[in-house]
Copies of this chain bind each other. A is one copy, B any other.
Amino acid sequence: MRVSTRFSDAIHLLAYLKIYANTKLTSDAIAASIETSPVVVRRLMGKLRQAGLITTTAGTANPELAKPLGEISLLRVFYAVEGDKPLFAVDPKTNPACIVGGNIQTVLKQYYQDAQTAAEARLARTTLQDIVDNILVEQAKKDAQA
């Protein structure tokens, strides 16, 4: 499969809304930053809107963050665009007549869930404010070198 960059692109989008708040925030402008198509951006914004992270206005380029970046964790964004998609996939089609095939799904699901929860706990610790802060620091480093 193609690897999904929805999560990364959603974070990108939200950071963009903050850092370029004083510009015209059309899906075209955002798409140019992510290097994707405006439609993809609007679809992403649709998910973020449904999740209550931003507000948008049909017909007008005016997406706005629904809450302070410090109150939006990476985990919240992940759920918004990826749903509860598991990080580790259980093979759903194994032979039920076999001791292994008949029970492994139940067993693996538990351990996979533990691992995923550990990762999610990490994502829950970081907010979009942290991301924006770090982006600005990285940019400042570059500016200092120039």
Binding site for B on A (CB under 8 A): 1-5, 7-9, 11-12, 15-16, 19-20, 32-35, 74, 87-91, 93-95, 98-104, 106-108, 110-111, 114-116, 118-123, 126, 130-131, 134-136, 138-139, 142
Contacts and interface: CB of A to CB of B under 8 A. Distances in A.
Contacts of A11: 104, 108
B135 A94 contact: no
Contacts of A74: 111
Contacts of A15: 100, 104
Contacts of A122: 111, 114-115, 118
13 contacts: A1-B1, A1-B4, A8-B104, A19-B99, A32-B95, A33-B94, A34-B91, A102-B142, A103-B142, A107-B131, A110-B134, A111-B131, A116-B119
A127 B29 CA distance: 49
